[in-house]
Amino acid sequence: MIYWEKAKEYLSLFLTQAQKYINKDTFAKVEKWLKSVSWKSPKAIGALALALVIVCGGIFYLSTTTSAVGIVVNGKTIGYAPNMTEAKQFVQAILSKHGEVAGTVAQTSDQIEYDRVRVSKEKFAASAISTEVLAGSITPFIQGYGLQVGEKIAVVMANEQDIDAVLAKYKDYFAKPSDKNSVSSAEIVESFTKVPIKANPSDVKNVDQALDILVKGDVAEKKYTVQQNDTLWAIARKNDMWVEELLAGNKGLTEDSVIQPGQEIKIVKTQPYLTVIAKGTKVVDEVIPFDVVTNTDSKLATGKSVVKQEGKDGEKIVTYNYVEKNGSIVDKQVVKEEVVTQPVKQIIAKGPARAPVYVGTSRGSGSVSGLIWPISGSITSYYGYRHGGFHTGLDIDGVTGQPYTAAAAGKVTFAGWDGGYGYCIIIDHGNGVATRYGHSSKLLVHVGDTVSRGQTIGLVGSTGRSTGSHLHFEVIINGSTVNPLSYL
Ligand SMILES: [Zn+2]
């Protein structure tokens, strides 16, 4: 009977193991039944054998599988969590993380279900849910707000207050209020709306990011009709662009293309989303540039010059009312000017041969503003003393054949050969102000022509006394040259 005793022993051992998996009531019933069995009857032996098979099978099943909760997204199980609480926490954590940008919990339109299952321990280990997998399977959204300009959503933000905040910052970005700049009004020209929007959390911007996007702006395209005397360079200048930018917006157009008046050219450039018109009053310190008076002194040798009096810049405090469009002045009215120090004239005596000749330029108050650069390029020589002589203008680097334009509207009073200046143009702008353009390879205007600001008047060259192709540019006030940099 030793075998039966052994069998009983094993059975209770299994039952002890089984206790972990079977509920208490079932276990108690099985135990009670075992005690009641008469261990010598063949019926009992059969029942015992059957019970052994069932219990062993059950224990095997229970010990090789585990209970788990499958996370099912849109009908597809993407992984398992150990239990329901953890499964839900996993999903919640992902949505919370996505919602952080907007200070909320993100939502999703994906259908998420939880499936209580038993899976093999291997399968559970292989497909335990991970944050990466879950994040990749759920498409989150938040209820945000878009700033719509025209047809376009310029930027998506978490809420209306953020949009208001960025608009206020945008106005300040251009208006730049300070203790020297009292802004009386700053208004946005374009109409815009704040629209509720279902947004991908990764598209939601904070105030600084949104400001950056609005300022950088969007690509805008407009048509430009080529005018008489226009060049690609002049068109680029008129539109505040480089020739390369102009060409980039016009397929088939190259630097060597011949353009005809009336032809349409695309102006493609990025500009801020919104236009701020700011009005206010500014107080600024301004330099009063000194003038240079050159007197011909026949006692001096040719090309020699001597400073009789050193020039010195003056200073003034100017108060003016302004209207600005995205930071650029469109209207300016001086209301007060307080001279702190008067400038001191520079007086130079020059040998006779180098005395400049200004043909028929006007005389007047000499007040000048709004001169534009005749050419864009680096300055290779400044106004002032160099190599023992006095340089009466700016040398601006350029290549032969490159067009240059009039710095302001005026009348051509000289166009021709003028010794050291080579082929040269003088334009009288009235009020005692004139400009001179030297070393040209070609002149495109004649004496008596009226020119507009930005109009091409000649081509850069190296004629006259010149060591390389450049534009020699002078500003002349009442017959004396002044430093052009003070007026550009
Ligand atoms: Zn020069």
Q: Which residue did the predictor score with more confidence, 368 or 39?
A: 368
Return the pLDDT at 355.
43
Beta bridge partners, 339, equal: 316
Instruction: Please report, to the nearest 10 degrees, the dihedral formed by the alpha carbons of residues 7, 9, 14, 20 taken in order.
Output: 160
**Same domain? 189 vs 240:** no
Q: How far is the CA of 487 from the centre of ligand 1 (A)?
A: 17
Q: How far is the CA of 436 from the centre of ligand 1 (A)?
A: 10
Helices (H), 217-359: 232-238, 243-248
Per DSSP (E only), the strands in 74-178 are: 76-81, 107-108, 112-120, 140-149, 152-157
Average pLDDT over residues 28-56: 72
Q: Is the four-CA dihedral 7, 13, 15, 21 of positive or negative sign?
A: negative
Contact, 403 vs 485, CB < 8 A?
no
Q: How far is the CA of 312 from the centre of ligand 1 (A)?
A: 22
Q: Is the pLDDT of residue 354 over 50?
A: no
Token code pair at residue 374: 């005749």
Q: How far is the CA of 339 from the centre of ligand 1 (A)?
A: 32
**Same domain? 416 vs 462:** yes
Q: How far is the CA of 473 from the centre of ligand 1 (A)?
A: 7
**Same domain? 338 vs 395:** no
Say how far apart CA 425 and CA 488 lie, in whole Å: 18
* Helix and strand element counts for the chain (H, E): 10, 29
Q: How far is the CA of 100 from the centre of ligand 1 (A)?
A: 62
**Same domain? 367 vs 482:** yes
The CATH code of the domain that includes 253 is 3.10.350.10
Q: Give residues with Cβ within 8 angstroms of 126, minimum separation 6.
A: none
Return the pLDDT at 141.
93
**Same domain? 368 vs 475:** yes
pTM summary value = 0.55
Say how far apart CA 188 and CA 274 lie, in whole Å: 6
Q: Is the pLDDT of residue 51 over 90?
A: no
Mean pLDDT of the chain: 86
Confidence of residue 244 (pLDDT cuts 50, 70, 90): confident
Q: Which of 332, 354, 376 is the last residue of a domain?
A: 354
Cβ-based neighbour number of residue 216 at 10 Å: 11
Say how far apart CA 181 and CA 454 lie, in whole Å: 31
Q: For residue 99, give Cα distances in angstroms to 102, 159, 200, 203.
A: 6, 12, 10, 12
Return the pLDDT at 257.
83
Q: How far is the CA of 412 from the centre of ligand 1 (A)?
A: 20
Q: How far is the CA of 358 from the centre of ligand 1 (A)?
A: 16
**Same domain? 46 vs 79:** yes
Q: How far is the CA of 374 from the centre of ligand 1 (A)?
A: 14
Return the pLDDT at 112.
94
Please compute, for residue 108, the number of CA atoms within 13 A of its CA located in the half-sphere on the CB side. Answer: 21
Return the pLDDT at 445.
94
Helix axes of 160-175 and 207-216: crossing angle, nearest 10 degrees: 50
Q: Provide the residue range defining the domain that includes 188.
A: 143-216
Q: How far is the CA of 424 from the centre of ligand 1 (A)?
A: 12
Return the pLDDT at 435.
95
**Same domain? 252 vs 343:** no
As for how many domains the chain has, the answer is: 5
Q: How far is the CA of 391 from the centre of ligand 1 (A)?
A: 6
Q: Tell me: the pLDDT tens digits for 423-469?
A: 999 999 988 899 999 999 999 999 999 999 999 999 999 998 888 89
Q: How far is the CA of 415 from the centre of ligand 1 (A)?
A: 17
**Same domain? 118 vs 132:** yes
Least confident of 88-92, 101-105, 155-159, 434-438: 101-105
**Same domain? 241 vs 306:** no
Return the pLDDT at 263.
92
Q: How far is the CA of 448 from the centre of ligand 1 (A)?
A: 25
The CATH code of the domain that includes 411 is 2.70.70.10
Return the pLDDT at 74.
94
**Same domain? 205 vs 236:** no
Q: How far is the CA of 373 from the centre of ligand 1 (A)?
A: 15
Q: How far is the CA of 326 from the centre of ligand 1 (A)?
A: 36
Percent share of the chain, pLDDT over 90? 45
Say how far apart CA 478 and CA 350 lie, in whole Å: 17
Q: Which of 354, 372, 407 is the last residue of a domain?
A: 354
**Same domain? 400 vs 336:** no
Cβ-based neighbour number of residue 327 at 10 Å: 12
Q: How far is the CA of 388 from the centre of ligand 1 (A)?
A: 14
Q: Which of 306, 339, 354 is the last residue of a domain?
A: 354
**Same domain? 350 vs 360:** no
Average pLDDT over residues 382-397: 83
Q: How far is the CA of 393 from the centre of ligand 1 (A)?
A: 6
